Amino acid sequence: MVIHPDLGSQLVNLCSALLLLTCFAIIAQRRLSACVDLFALQSVFLAVTAALVAFLTGAHHIYIAAALTVVIKVIILPRILKAVIERLNVKRELVLNINIPSSLLICGALVILAFYITQPIISLGFLLTQDSLAIALSIVLIGFFIMIARKKAVTQVIGFLVIENGLFLGATAAAYGMPLIVELGVFFDILVAGLIIGVYTHRLQDTFDSVDTSKLTGLKE
């Protein structure tokens, strides 16, 4: 079966847009476990995008990356995060540095900024996935913003993982994926980072009776 290149490009763009949409959903969400679910959903979209690119370009190693995305980001990491939330009993509402309406406005601005920044690069490109680059950058910036705007350690993990999703999308979009060995390494890193941050959250809870990272200011002299 052969898909028309224009149609393929449209499909990739659609999936990327869905990824971006889940980002906004995470920003707008008040409940912690829902955030984790939304992250899992975003990872599903990511895997679909990757598989689509693999299919359209015939670069088979991207299939492996897509499969790993499903295993690690859709199944394992959300479970770890849920377990942490259960154990530490932090199901309650998120604590925000910046309230939700203004967060959404700022994220909108970030998306515009990302398109503005990537515009000269995109006009040079010739790949069918080139438009996704702007979306990838937006996701990275929003992930970063989540880390800044939300106080609890678990939300910061989610922000970190969202950044990683953005980077993965960017790599797929700009260069049809990284070499397989690099991707494997990145997945391993993500897994380890998830575990470490889980432990770190635990210690934070033990020390401060809270997972609010703004309590860390107490460590300053």
State the residues that interact with another protein by CB under 8 A.
97, 113, 116-117, 120, 141, 144-145, 147-149, 151, 156, 213-214, 216-220
Considering the complex, what minimum distance in angstroms separates the CB of residue 144 from another protein? 5
Phi, then psi, of 129 in degrees rounded to 5: -100, 10
Considering the complex, what minimum distance in angstroms separates the CB of residue 2 from another protein? 37
Closest listed residue to residue 70, CA positions, set 37, 89, 47, 93:
47
Distances (CA, A) of 203 to 186, 197, 207, 209: 25, 10, 6, 9
Q: Measured at the alpha carbon of residue 194, what is the angle toward residues 211 and 25, in degrees to the nearest 5?
A: 75
Contact 194, 157 (CB under 8 A): yes
Nearer residue to another protein within complex by CB, 61 or 151: 151
| Adjacent-strand bridge partners of 212 | 152
Considering the complex, what minimum distance in angstroms separates the CB of residue 138 from another protein? 12
Nearer residue to another protein within complex by CB, 64 or 117: 117
Considering the complex, what minimum distance in angstroms separates the CB of residue 201 from another protein? 13
Nearer residue to another protein within complex by CB, 62 or 211: 211
Nearer residue to another protein within complex by CB, 181 or 219: 219
